[in-house]
Amino acid sequence: MLIQNPREFYREVYQQPFAMPAFNVCNLEMAKAVIEAAVAERAPVIVQTYPGDLAHAAFGDDMGPLPLLIRAMAQAAPIPVFLHLDHGPGLAYNLRCLRAGYNSVMFDGHDLPLDEALLETAAIARAAHALDAAVEGELGTFGGAQGSQEYTNPEETPLMFEQGQVDMLAVSVGSEHGQSSRLDLELLTAINDKVHAPLVLHGGSGIHEDDVRAAIRLGVVKINIGAALSRAWCQGSREALEAGADHYGVLDRAMQRVHEVARHRLQLMGASGRA
């Protein structure tokens, strides 16, 4: 089911505590494999899309069919599903996704001065909250497409909740898009002590598993998983092609590998059995 109370759900996860992997998907088959993994684990799950994923499937300025396909699968699933926008670039884009049925969105304002980022985040939050959708803000950067990595300043974090009106905050404490990493747990502790509210980590594919467990105890409710799924998809496709499979075999093998990764991450983050 597409969850109807995402803001409350994130707060409940924070109180438990456990975390939900947020899986970046770029096609129907990846989304289906992730949701089937969550059903098998009886776990709530976040299925998220990056603007590039939507552009790849879109025609012209249309959002394309991917959100509709994910919503249809979510509504048929017997577990809670979030449809989340990852790294949404500004108010207009976030509004388009909210109109397309996303129940959770992220504003990526890393390139703005803090005061401007707070204003833009608050505008998105007002629109999202009017539709009972949740909002993720960001302080700091995570490398990869965002350029150099910049750690989060704990002193700024309360502003995102108080002025930006976010429901959860992505913080940079060592994880990096597409790279193996160890977290600065002292910094994460300082941030959690400042806000006592749901936190998010990006670059989750490469975070050491011991640090994942520690982060959950320090307020993290959402950990993004993108590179691990892409690698699993490519690995499965190569295996099937090398075995001489037809296109159905390629899709089946790629989905199997994604399914395996998704189940492991759900188990690791304590989401299994929480649905």
What 3-state class would DSSP assign to 104? strand
Residue 180: name the closest of 146, 227, 214 by CA.
227
| Count of CA atoms in the C-beta half-sphere (13 A) of 204 | 30
Per-residue CA distances from 174 to 61, 149, 180, 187, 208 (Å): 36, 8, 10, 9, 11
Catalytic status, residue 193:
no
Residue with tokens 């909740």: 161
Which DSSP state fits 132? T
Question: How far is residue 104 CA from its own chain's centroid?
Answer: 9
- Cβ neighbours for 238, distance < 8 A, ≥ 6 positions apart: none
Three-state secondary structure string covering 62-102: CCCCHHHHHHHHHHHCCCCEEEEEEEECCHHHHHHHHHCCC
Which one is catalytic: 53, 61, 86, 111? 86
Give the active site residues: 86
